[in-house]
């Protein structure tokens, strides 16, 4: 057996950053910038009012107060989106709306709450200094400013900044296109009746969802029976269409499976036994021996559904995130209090126990789900964390344990 750290290092070293590509802002959320973004224009592009009120010359408000207002002549009104063409002279004011451009000659705005209309004039009850309630041109961004560095994970505010600069596309590291393939005569695709000794194909639906949730573009490569020619054709075709491939099953030691036969023929594979439970068997390689296929990473996950999920989380997901330019590759980890014993026996492996987590306002808590078998996916579906138990006898109730949060939002709720 090898350590999880050794397996991860082997995989991550062979998963290269994807090339940059320009994508529309509407599809860029969660992507990583591939190059700095430098502003070509100012934001805001012109000086404008920060609130509804009256644009004035600040000097004309000297001494204004509630009991001794300053009276000015209102010479125009300017709304947001309209040009400000009427200048403000001595003793004059322009009625102005939030976001409207400052008229020539005005250098401050008196908010409407400190005004009293008097026919075509207005009494102002607040003395203001130059610049009061004025958003200066370039006050947020100036031309030449680097607004985003390379390596930034784009969130909603970042996209708003790009839109404010007039950009409709941004250069990002490619979002990995990941093909998910199911193989094996024992599997039955959805919509078909079960035959003797057959089980339904659950891993493919789960893995497609995991790829999508991790920021990749999931491609369903379907189900292939235990036929070498069909499997090779499906893998080579997937490598042409995708940046990475994920299969499940056929990676255990001693298996003489068509998956092994085919992958050993068309890819540079390493078949591993990792010192973890579940998900001990794992395979990884680069599909590149075939003359018509690129060097595409292939993740061979174990067939048991829980093992497949854990293997994806610990090995495939971090690698796919690296390919997409992320620096934080893993799920967030917290120290939690075990609300029930997390028992295990020494066996030379780290155990990843499926737990339900919660937060009491001060500490995280963890409680194991009822069933921990590598085939018991229904119980695992109720978990939102993986408790990491080092080799030994486990964690007693009240002890602390490291937990990888599979669903951070769910983990912030109190446990029932």
Average pLDDT over residues 175-201: 81
Is this prediction's pTM over 0.85? yes
Residue 293 pLDDT exceeds 70: no
Give the DSSP H/E element, type plus range, for residue 130: none
The Cα 177–Cα 25 span in angstroms is 19
Name the pLDDT band for 257 (thresholds 50, 70, 90): confident
Calculate what percentage of the chain has a pLDDT beyond 90.
Answer: 82
- Sheet strands (E) in 91-211: 92-96, 108-111, 115-118, 121-124, 134-135, 146-148, 169-173, 177-183, 187-188, 199-200
Name the pLDDT band for 29 (thresholds 50, 70, 90): very high
Residue 375 pLDDT exceeds 50: yes
Residue 252 pLDDT exceeds 80: no
Residue 139 pLDDT exceeds 70: yes
Residue with tokens 């594979």: 269
296-349 pLDDT tens trace: 999 999 988 999 999 999 999 999 999 999 999 999 999 999 999 999 999 999
165-186 pLDDT tens trace: 999 999 999 999 999 998 887 7
The Cα 305–Cα 107 span in angstroms is 67
CA-derived radius of gyration, the chain: 31
Give the DSSP H/E element, type plus range, for residue 212: helix 203-213
Q: What angle do CA 147, 150, 154 make, to 5 degrees?
A: 70
Residue 75 pLDDT exceeds 80: yes
Give the DSSP H/E element, type plus range, for residue 59: none
Residue 256 pLDDT exceeds 70: no
Peptide bond into 372 cis (omega under 30): no
| Residue 399: HSE in the Cβ half-sphere, 13 Å Cα cutoff | 15
Average pLDDT over residues 44-66: 97
Name the pLDDT band for 292 (thresholds 50, 70, 90): very low
Judging by DSSP bridges, how do beta strands 48-49 and 53-56 pair with one another? unpaired
Q: Give burial (CB, 10 Å; 0-12/13-18/19+) of 110.
A: buried
Calculate what percentage of the chain has a pLDDT beyond 70.
Answer: 97
Compute the mean pLDDT over every residue in the chain, rounded to the nearest whole number.
93
Tokens found for residue 245: 């491939």
Tokens found for residue 286: 């680069």
- In three-state secondary structure terms, 3 is coil
**pLDDT at site 202:** 86
| Phi-psi region at 411: left, alpha or beta (left = phi > 0; alpha = psi -120 to 50) | alpha
**pLDDT at site 190:** 73
In the chain, the domains with their CATH numbers are: 4-17+175-323 (3.40.980.10), 20-41+148-173 (3.90.105.10), 48-135 (2.170.190.11), 333-411 (2.40.340.10)
Paired with 385 in beta bridges are: 355, 405
Phi, psi of 321 (to 5 degrees): -70, -35
Give the DSSP H/E element, type plus range, for residue 14: none
Q: Residue-wise over 149-160: b if at least 16 C-beta within 10 A, else e?
A: ebebbbeeebbe
């Amino acid at each position: 057996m090898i350590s999880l750290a050794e397996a991860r290092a082997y995989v991550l070293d062979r998963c290269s950053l994807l090339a940059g590509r320009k994508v529309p802002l509407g599809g860029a959320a969660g992507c990583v910038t591939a190059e700095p973004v430098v502003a070509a224009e100012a934001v805001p592009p012109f000086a404008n009012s920060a609130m509804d009120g009256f644009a004035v010359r600040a000097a004309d408000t000297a001494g204004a107060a509630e009991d001794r207002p300053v009276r000015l002549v209102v010479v125009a009104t300017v709304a947001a989106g309209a040009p400000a063409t009427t200048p403000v002279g001595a003793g004059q004011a322009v009625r102005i709306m939030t976001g409207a451009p400052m008229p020539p000659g005005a250098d401050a705005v008196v908010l409407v709450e400190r005004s009293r209309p008097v026919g075509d004039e207005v009494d102002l009850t607040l003395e203001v200094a130059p610049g009061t309630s004025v958003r200066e041109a370039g006050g947020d961004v100036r031309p030449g400013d680097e607004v985003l560095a390379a390596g930034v994970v784009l969130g909603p505010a970042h996209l708003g900044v790009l839109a404010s600069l007039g950009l409709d596309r941004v250069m990002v590291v490619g979002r990995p296109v990941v093909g998910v393939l199911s193989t094996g005569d024992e599997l039955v695709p959805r919509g078909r009746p079960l035959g003797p000794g057959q089980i339904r194909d659950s891993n493919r639906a789960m893995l497609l969802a995991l790829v999508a949730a991790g920021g990749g573009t999931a491609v369903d490569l379907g189900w292939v029976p235990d036929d070498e020619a069909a499997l090779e054709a499906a893998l080579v075709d997937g490598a042409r269409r995708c940046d990475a491939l994920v299969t499940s099953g056929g990676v255990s030691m001693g298996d003489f499976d068509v998956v092994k036969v085919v992958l050993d023929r068309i890819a540079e594979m390493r078949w591993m036994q990792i010192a973890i439970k579940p998900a001990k068997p794992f395979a990884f390689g680069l599909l590149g021996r075939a003359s018509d296929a690129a060097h595409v990473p292939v993740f061979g996950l174990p067939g048991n559904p829980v093992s497949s999920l854990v293997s994806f989380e610990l090995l495939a997901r971090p690698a796919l995130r690296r390919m997409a330019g992320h620096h934080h590759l893993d799920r967030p980890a917290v120290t939690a209090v075990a609300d029930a014993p997390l028992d295990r026996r020494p066996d030379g492996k780290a155990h990843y126990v499926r737990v339900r987590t919660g937060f009491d306002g001060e500490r995280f808590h963890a409680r194991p789900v009822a069933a921990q078998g590598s085939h018991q996916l229904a119980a695992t579906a109720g978990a939102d964390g993986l408790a990491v138990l080092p080799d030994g006898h486990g964690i007693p109730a009240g002890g602390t344990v490291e937990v990888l949060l599979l669903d951070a939002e769910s983990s912030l709720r109190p446990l029932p």
